[in-house]
Structure 1
Amino acid sequence: MQFLVTDDNIMVIELNLRASRTCPFVSKTIGTDLVKVATKVMVGAELDLKELPTLETPHNPVDYVGIKAPMFSWPRLRDADPLLRCEMSSTGEVACFAPDVHTAFLKSLISAGFKLPPKGGNIMIGIQQSFQPAFLPTAKKLHDLGYKLCATEATAEYLNKHNIPADIVGWPASDNTCENVGIATKLIQEKAIDLVINLPNNNTKYVQDNYMIRRMSIDSQTPLVTNFQIAKLLTESLAKEDQMRPDSLFHYQKRATV
């Protein structure tokens, strides 16, 4: 079942009678075999309700986190804009476990083919004006972690105004008021950028430019983030990159509550 939630309104998008890939992931995470439970219910077998999780007594893992992350096929979709909307765009998924949400998140990104920016790498930022104040702590964190920031004109001006060094890059299609600056898409194409964070909306005259930056990121196999929450979590997680370790699934199953 897929839901769409807006404020206090809950709507059902679709309901499919099938086995979900989420079931084995959740079962492994909480230590309760949900498929086995569902089968017993369907055949009328006896259940020990005391052993099952409820809203009041959930089986939450105590010392680890499970994360399921989507995989996308944007490189195969020529000229498609790699922006996420309400329609499902992913064509696969991966599941990872770790002691905390940050290392689990990094593991899931790596497993999905996302290349983490190297220490001291170059990160290109383009943020619509309304997002800039909320993004400021994230930009500062990236700078504090040692990454070199560059940004489109207005974003770079905003970051520098708040004592976060950022070089200016030019828009690929529109006229640029700053001279002698690198063009965003050319820098990406030349592999001079290790990560692109592009947080646009349609309330800007640079809609086409932002699309060209996102598309060039995909075509040049440069990691791209287009969601504010993901950009924030990624930044927090990069500080713990050296804490990742390759534990087996059984390592975490032994810690399951059941």
Structure 2
Amino acid sequence: HPVLIDHYLVGKECEVDCISDGDTVVLPGIMEHIERAGIHSGDSMAVYPPQTFSQDIIDQITDATIKLSRTLNCIGLMNVQFIIHDGKAYVIEVNPRASRTVPFLSKVTNIKLAQVATLAILGLSLKEQGFETGLLPNQSGIHVKSPVFSFSKLNHVDSLLGPEMKSTGEVMGSDTTLAKALYKAFEAAGMHLPQFGRALITVKDADKAEATALAKRFREVGYQLVATSGTAKAFEKTGITVSTIEKLDSGQETILEDIANRKIQLVINTMSAD
């Protein structure tokens, strides 16, 4: 079936799970995605509570979710995904069912969402269960839901993320700061972050300015920097000295050999599907 795309919005993505009994609509929490819109929600890292949303954005998400739930007459769990673009929340999709984020949100809010939703379906109102319409207050701590991939076990699988889900599991990291929670999530997902070594940076043109600031931070903490020719030139214009390595399409296998021989400990790579 053909799909017509009228306009593509570039922005941040988030999602929310809500519970309704047909009247009262409760939002246990909002999860902000780290990956930009366009990556399948199951492959995105999600952060609770949101770290960069204004109160106005949170209010827009809350109001839209309540209206959608009541209009669709959804009783039980419902998941709504939004994209935040130019200060406005746009609905991407609505799923009137329990989503994969329910266990994560249940854990971080200490609310048994499946149980509450089941009782609502059976006729016990949310007010009788102690809930009122609206977004519940944020719980303590910062929590990160991270996907787990099996690329190392599967041959000939493209690791470039997109609208089709490729992850095979999930883990969670919790702490008092986003950085610590992220670190725990990476470790739990099997992505061990080296404390020192050589960092290879190769990014598309649109990301070179942002990568320059990132390269400076890696250099400050002691990493040796390696970059492909285009990225290296962008760095050198800002005074960052790096070692240059040839791209894969140059016919040389230097990058793959260095990674295989553990001469490179960290890779920062952005690309497009083109």
TM over 0.5: yes
Q: Contact 1:125/1:155 (CA < 8 Å) preserved in 2?
A: yes
Cα deviation for residue 21 of structure 1 reads 4.2
What is the TM-score with the length of structure 2 in the denominator?
A: 0.62
Partner amino acid, structure 1, of 2:116: V
Q: Is the 8 A contact 1:31 1:59 kept in 2?
A: no
Letter in 1 for 2:107: K
Q: Which ranges in structure 1 are unaligned for 5 or more consecutive residues?
A: 177-181, 204-258
Partner of 2:136: 58
Q: Secondary structure of 2:249's partner?
A: coil
Find the counterpart in structure 1 of residue 59 from structure 2: none
Residue 28 of structure 1: CA displacement?
2.0
In percent, how many aligned pairs have the same letter?
30
Q: Deviations over 1:198-253 (max 9, x none)?
A: 112356xxxxxxxxxxxxxxxxxxxxxxxxxxxxxxxxxxxxxxxxxxxxxxxxxx
2:173–2:183 contact (8 Å) kept in structure 1 = no
* 1:94–1:141 CA distance, 2 compared to 1 (3 A): same
Partner of 1:188: 259
Q: 2-side partners of 1:53 and 1:199: how far apart?
A: 44
Q: Name the SS for the 1:163 alignment partner.
A: coil
* 2:138 partner amino acid: N
Hey, what does 2:159 align to over in structure 1?
Answer: 82
Map 1:94-109 → 2, pairs under 5 A: 94-109=171-186
Q: 2:233 aligns with which of 157, 177, 184?
A: 157
Change (3 A) 1:183 1:53: farther
Q: Which residue of 2 aligns with 1:12?
A: 93
8 Å CA contact retained: 1:71, 1:93: yes
Q: Distance in 2 between matches of 1:43 and 1:68?
A: 30
1 CA distance for matches of 2:149 and 2:132? 33
Query: Quick one: distance in 2 between partners of 1:53 and 1:88?
Result: 35
- Structure 2 unaligned runs (5+)? 1-78
Q: Does 1:139 align with 2:219?
A: no
Q: What TM-score do the two structures reach when normalised by structure 1?
A: 0.66
Deviation of the 1:24 alpha carbon:
2.7
Cross-structure match for 1:113: 190
3-state SS of paired residue (1:196):
strand
Aligned residue number for residue 32 of structure 1:
111
Which whole-Å CA distance do the structure 2 matches of 1:2 and 1:74 have between them? Answer: 29
